[in-house]
Amino acid sequence: MVYEIIAALVFIADRLTKYFIMHNVSVGDTFGSFLGIFDFTYVQNQGAAWSMLSGKTQLLSLVSFAFCAAVIVIWIIKKPKNRMLCTALTLMFSGALGNAVDRAMYGYVVDFIETTFVDFPIFNIADIGITIGAFLLVIYILIFDKDKG
């Protein structure tokens, strides 16, 4: 039940922030800053990370939804118990779902968090979930996965 709550919180936070951005900010506008570390700039990303595969919205939507389905299958069949693995899967699932919904509904992903201390693509809360989840998954595989060949 904990992982379902985490997934719901990440997904809801992602949806609410994107809704706010879309209804209160014009595309390309910067509308605030956080401690001088992040600016908030609304962009519409028609690709994946770093705008790769730009314009391939249907393909990216399919991949995102397929990933979410695969995670559900893993939860049902494998029933993972390791907390790090469960957290990784949960964060990646909720992030992929948030971005998949954007692609399916709008044809692009709403991004708005811009780093000011390093040149990095603008991202969103779903991307944070995916990134942290992927990092945890790598740690899990390197340290805790006992099924290494």
Residue 6 lies in a domain: yes
User: How does pLDDT run across 103-115, given as a tens digit for each residue?
Assistant: 999 999 999 999 9
Confirm if 49 and 129 have CB atoms less than 8 A apart: no
In a domain, 146, yes or no: no
> In this model, does residue 118 exceed pLDDT 50?
yes
Confirm if 49 and 111 have CB atoms less than 8 A apart: no
For residue 11, is pLDDT > 60? yes
Among 111, 119, 145, 147, which one carries the catalytic annotation? 111
List the domain range (segments joined by +) for residue 20: 2-139
Cβ pair 81, 46 in contact under 8 A = no
Task: Give the Cα separation of 48 and 32 in Å (integer).
Answer: 24
- Segment 128-145 mean pLDDT: 94
- Within-domain flag for 147: no
* Residue 45 located in a structural domain: yes
Known catalytic residue at 111: yes
Which residue in 39, 127, 145, 147 is the catalytic one? 127
Assigned domain for 149 exists: no
127: annotated active-site residue: yes
Mean of the per-residue pLDDT values of the chain: 91
Report pLDDT for 59: 83
Summarize pLDDT for 12-62 with one digit per residue, the tens: 999 999 999 999 999 999 988 888 899 999 999 987 766 666 766 788 888
Cβ–Cβ under 8 Å, residues 15 and 101: yes
Query: pLDDT tens, 53-96?
Result: 676 678 888 899 999 999 999 999 999 999 999 999 999 999 99
3-state percent breakdown (helix, strand, coil) of the chain, nearest 5: 60, 15, 25
- Label residue 147 by pLDDT band (50, 70, 90): low
| Count of domains forming the chain | 1
Q: Which residues of 31-60 are buried (b: 16+ CB within 10 A; e: fewer)?
A: eeeeeeebbbbbbebbbbeeeeeeeebeeb
CA–CA separation, 143 and 73 (whole Å): 24
Residue 145, domain member (yes or no): no
Distance between CA atoms of residues 149 and 132, nearest Å: 26
- Answer yes or no: is 41 within a domain: yes
Specify the pLDDT at position 51: 63
The pLDDT assigned to 76 comes to 93
Q: Is residue 78 domain-resident?
A: yes
